[in-house]
Structure 1
């Protein structure tokens, strides 16, 4: 049965127009039906009042019984309006004479009063003897057991209700047409924000990801929908940008790793081919080839170790959780650096703060919670970076102390400061280790890239001297894993200040 029912329109606009038209049509038809019933009932009550108020004169009964009623040509002058009176004698037989106009078909009445089915004083409706006319009749008791039926035609009532029905039909048709025409305009106007959303969504689908929905009024349903969609689009765009950035970094990382590995592999391959042909080389030359093979193999092994370490750090490794004395850590690193390289004098001193810019205070306790071996690795990378990228004789200062995170002390944003980690809350207690050198410093472009993997500030520098370009990336990752961050303050001719900012041991800050 349901498969024969008409399918509702799929368009929301058409559904709204159809629904509004049906509801308005039902409301108009209901009001018209109520008006029709009220008017018909009122007109019928008026006819009943006339019937009840009219009583046939007593002489008319005797005239009807004696057959002395006026002839049909004069009946209209005898009774008021369209009244018609039919008489029954005392035995209930209908008399042949009647009063009233003979221009209309008479009502259909029984020849015997007992068959009338009328009650005295209660009007009833009966059809005419011919045609589609109707009469309203009322039974009245007369003298000497006689009775009379007073009748009024319902032509006026039927004519008025018929005209009302036709008027209602025309009005209904006009209303439906007007509702469809105006409904389309009203619905189109009401759905205009959705239409704009549709066009904007099409433009976004076409590739214009920066577009946003204009209707965001929180007081309307469409506005709230627009705000939610804009928020969703922002998140999607950020996710796409993050994915594209991640893919680009991954491609660059793989390309750089392949490039870094290709050089030692090529050297190993070349010297290995020479080693396989001992008749062409002398003993010292073969020893030199073997030494180069070993050096490149060691370099490749270190590079692979660094790559594995970065992969491990990227997976959020678990660090040891113990109190670390950063002053002792820095002292050990400075001692080791002094032993390994005398070309870069290293000094240990207190941290410089806005309250003590000269660093005249004595060294004090600076503790954090973390993995001492990983934090020592950061210091070793920073000191090694200074020895590698600054000329001999460059002085290095390692400063240790405690302060609060801020633009002047570190841990938060400041113009010219470079980092890849999020800032710490301003004012939180932090422990800081600074590695400052008196070298040539870096320009703004180079400073923004120092924490990138495989980046070297001097592309012409040999890989044997310049390292793999992973040291600072590893150090920044370890610092962020401890809830802190590694940052750089530098300028051409002013040297570099690498600052390791970590939450103080009693600050309540947890590693990320």
Structure 2
């Protein structure tokens, strides 16, 4: 039985809506018509009761019947004694109903009255309904007490009441059928028009599911539920497309990263394997050659160790932000880094000065303490990598300048993306006060195509691309560390104008802790951060 009912249930939303609207409308009409029938029947019955209450039988005719005589003025019958179809019946003082009555024809249809007054069961002045003797329409009767203990029963047929009620019933059924047909036809049209936008959404969703991922759901119906659904689907599709593009880009970067890492590790591994086999195959090798081979093995092992350490550090920087947040004096940090790098590159002139936020002469600016909040070890490594990069990629004797100061981010200024300026970190909002360190060299600069790639891992610009001295991870580490500290590392360069690497750390009042970075987006391990340099 349940399976049959399930088969009869409409499966489409359109059919369900039309069926529901039809049932509701038809039920409402039928209920209203039924209420009207009840009211009409009650009203007509009350009219009959009013006529019965106002009617007074002819006294002389009633007395003649009680005494056993024919009614006066009715020699051949008594139909002319009473108006219309009234019927008057009498019960004698002995409690039995008299055979003769007033009104109607002898033997005609009338109410089914009992033969004795005790079985009558009528109260004076209270109308009641009795069945007809011929099985037709019922009769409405009322009883009154007469003279000498007699009882008078006045009756009126309910033929007209029943006829009016039957006509109203058929009319109600006809109206109900007409309403049902109209609701089905008109409702189908309205539902089809109303669901047309939803059908469009369904078609677009199918095309998207078939592979047309760039499609959008039309949302012309802004104020409707379909419009809200369309906007929600478009938002979801935008996010899915963005996630897919990011996943594809991340996968491509990861493949390139693994290929580059394998390539970088293959060279020292091959050297290690070759010199180790040489030592094994020639046990009688001269001491000078053996010592040379051992030194080359040590150098390649150190190179591999540095490369693995750099990759491990990048993974850690991409996993969690800086954890040892504390106030850092950027001026002291810059001075220490300059001193450390100057020892390794004595042929470079490295200067330390103040960074000004005005158009005045930088030489006239005064050095001052600049306190920033961050991880001092990571900030030291950023500056050390920038200075090393400047020394490695410029000719001997090139002047390198380090400047420390404070800035306020302006539109199209430092801290934002623009022509000749590139970064792997997000741009800072205009108006943000920042603590800044600039490392500027007077080298040849970089063309735009190379400048856009300097923060990629394993990328080495110019002649450094063939150099085995660097791994191409220095700027990658610096960029990831800058983002881990909530800042930005950017490069300003043009061919012939040298390079300016700028570290920007948003100013935060004393007392700010590592909780500042809670909820910040963290670089994904599967998405290699920009990186390199030399």
TM-score higher than 0.5: yes
Residues 126, 134 of structure 1: 8 Å contact kept: yes
What is the aligned counterpart of 1:299 among 303, 306, 320?
303
User: Could you say which residue in structure 1 is the equivalent of 2:473?
Assistant: 470
User: Could you say which residue in structure 1 is the equivalent of 2:37?
Assistant: 36
Structure 2 counterparts to residues 192-341 of structure 1, below 5 A? 192-215=196-219, 220-278=224-282, 284-316=288-320, 318-341=322-345
1:479 aligns with 2:482: yes
1:48 aligns with 2:49: yes
User: Could you say which residue in structure 1 is the equivalent of 2:357?
Assistant: 353
1:104–1:503 CA distance, 2 compared to 1 (3 A): same
1:162 aligns with 2:169: no
1:474–1:331 CA distance, 2 compared to 1 (3 A): same
User: Could you say which residue in structure 2 is the equivalent of 1:184?
Assistant: 188
For residue 300 of structure 2, give the secondary structure of its aligned residue in structure 1: helix
1:58 CA displacement: 1.9
Give the unaligned 5+ runs of structure 1.
Answer: none
1:371–1:163 CA distance, 2 compared to 1 (3 A): closer
Identify the range of structure 1 (251-260 vs 285-294) with the bigger mean alpha-carbon deviation.
Answer: 285-294
Mapped to 2, the partners of 1:115 and 1:400 lie a distance apart of: 121
1:495 CA displacement: 1.4
User: Could you say which residue in structure 1 is the equivalent of 2:529?
Assistant: none
What is the aligned counterpart of 1:68 among 67, 70, 83?
70
1:497 aligns with 2:521: no
What is the aligned counterpart of 1:443 among 441, 447, 464?
447
User: Could you say which residue in structure 1 is the equivalent of 2:93?
Assistant: 90
Mapped to 1, the partners of 2:174 and 2:76 lie a distance apart of: 42
For residue 462 of structure 2, give the secondary structure of its aligned residue in structure 1: coil
Residues 135, 154 of structure 1: 8 Å contact kept: yes
Residues 216, 222 of structure 1: 8 Å contact kept: no
1:73–1:34 CA distance, 2 compared to 1 (3 A): farther
1:260 CA displacement: 1.0
1:81 CA displacement: 1.5
- Deviation per CA, 1:185-231: give whole Å up to 9, x if none: 33444444544443443344334444444448785555445544444
Identify the range of structure 1 (13-22 vs 468-477) with the bigger mean alpha-carbon deviation.
Answer: 13-22
Residues 408, 432 of structure 2: 8 Å contact kept: yes
Residues 326, 513 of structure 2: 8 Å contact kept: no
User: Could you say which residue in structure 1 is the equivalent of 2:153?
Assistant: 149
Residues 327, 510 of structure 2: 8 Å contact kept: no
Mapped to 2, the partners of 1:193 and 1:371 lie a distance apart of: 56
User: Could you say which residue in structure 2 is the equivalent of 1:80?
Assistant: 83
Structure 2 counterparts to residues 399-414 of structure 1, below 5 A? 399-407=403-411, 410-414=414-418
1:316–1:57 CA distance, 2 compared to 1 (3 A): same
1:329–1:125 CA distance, 2 compared to 1 (3 A): closer
What is the aligned counterpart of 1:366 among 363, 366, 370?
370
Mapped to 2, the partners of 1:114 and 1:436 lie a distance apart of: 128
- Deviation per CA, 1:415-456: give whole Å up to 9, x if none: 432112233444444332211122222222222221111112
Mapped to 2, the partners of 1:51 and 1:336 lie a distance apart of: 126
What is the aligned counterpart of 2:117 among 113, 117, 131?
113
Q: How many residues align?
A: 510
Mapped to 2, the partners of 1:212 and 1:4 lie a distance apart of: 40
Residues 422, 491 of structure 2: 8 Å contact kept: yes
Residues 351, 359 of structure 1: 8 Å contact kept: no
1:83 CA displacement: 2.0
Mapped to 2, the partners of 1:81 and 1:162 lie a distance apart of: 22
Q: TM-score normalized by structure 1?
A: 0.87
- Deviation per CA, 1:35-82: give whole Å up to 9, x if none: 111111111122222222222212212443444247797544443222
Residues 479, 486 of structure 1: 8 Å contact kept: yes
For residue 468 of structure 2, give the secondary structure of its aligned residue in structure 1: helix
Mapped to 1, the partners of 2:63 and 2:380 lie a distance apart of: 139
Relative contact order higher in (CA < 8 Å, ≥ 6 apart): 2
Mapped to 2, the partners of 1:336 and 1:362 lie a distance apart of: 23
1:108–1:374 CA distance, 2 compared to 1 (3 A): closer
